[in-house]
Structure 1
Amino acid sequence: MEQKIRIFVNAKDTVFYEAVTWFKNYGLTVEIVKFSETQQPKHSDIIHMLCLTENGFPDIVKRSQLYKIEELAFNQAVNYIVKHPKIIKNLFFVTHNKFMAGFDAKEIRRFLPRARKRLTLEILTAY
């Protein structure tokens, strides 16, 4: 069973359409979660993303906004992010065990199931 890829995107951002097209071309299921001041991300979604990152808050918060949460306790920082989603980077791809910030055509392949990666590689190397 293939996993659903959740795309978290700033409600004003349109760059994510390229990623949605890429996923759909590979037959992958996506769910788009837009966030803004009126459509706040869920507390549990922020914690899940943080669990999947290598560096924690710096991986999901804009560099210019990190100072706003640096001195806060973990739960306080998460609550601040939920209430002020404009400090979050614009685009995330999340599954139950994978995370990626931003769109990178090479890195996005990590979301393909292994069998699909192998098939794609076999097709490409057959010529």
Structure 2
Amino acid sequence: MNFTKSSSTCRKAREWLINNKLPFQEINLNKATLSHKEIYHILSLTEAGTDDIVSKRAASFQDIAYTFEDLSLTDAVSMIKQNISLLRIPLIVDESHIQVGFNEDDVRKFVPRPARKVKKGLLDKKLYEIHLEKLQEQ
């Protein structure tokens, strides 16, 4: 997970990962950088390339006189590497998934499918029990 400590959204994402017992490695973008290989991997998981991961509201983006569409992929990756604050955060990545920002429903894709089925089964059972209790009260 790529994050900055000052972001409340990053703190929510971190808390969610911990509460769901998912192992993760934090990369504080205020103190660390990403390799070209890591940036290429992140881009490979996006649907819209740099549009998905670059924050247009970032001050560093406003300082750039040209758009990412004018850059080659190699130059765009180098630009992100040099200006890591261009990235939207939190950025949660594994081998085959990416989550930009934090949305509790969307981030569930990082929970292994068998665990999601077990959790859903337990929830369905609890809802069924509540429904039965209400029927008995009537």
User: Shorter-chain TM-score category?
Assistant: 0.7 to 0.9
Q: What residue in structure 1 maps to residue 93 of structure 2?
A: 94
Name whichever of 53-62 and 67-76 sits farther off: 67-76
| Paired position in structure 1 for 2:124 | 125
The C-alpha deviation readout for 1:101-126, integer Å capped at 9, x for no partner, is 00001101111101110010011010
Partner of 1:112: 111
**Aligned counterparts of 1:12 and 1:70: Cα–Cα separation in 2:** 30
In structure 1, runs of 5+ residues without a counterpart are 1-6
Q: Percent identity?
A: 24
Match of 1:59 among 49, 52, 71: 52
Normalized per residue, the structure richer in strand is 1
> Quick one: which amino acid aligns to residue 78 of structure 1?
V
The one-letter code matched in structure 2 to 1:76 is D
Q: Which runs of 4+ in 1 moved over 2 A?
A: 10-15, 63-70
Q: Counterpart of 2:123 in 1: which secondary structure?
A: helix
Q: Give the aligned partner of residue 13 of structure 2.
A: 19
Aligned length in residues: 120
Unaligned runs of 5+ in 2: 127-138
The residue number in structure 2 matching 1:85 is 84
- Aligned-residue Cα RMSD (Å) equals 1.8
Contact 1:91/1:102, CA 8 A, preserved across alignment: yes
Query: In the alignment, does 2:25 pair up with 1:31?
Result: yes
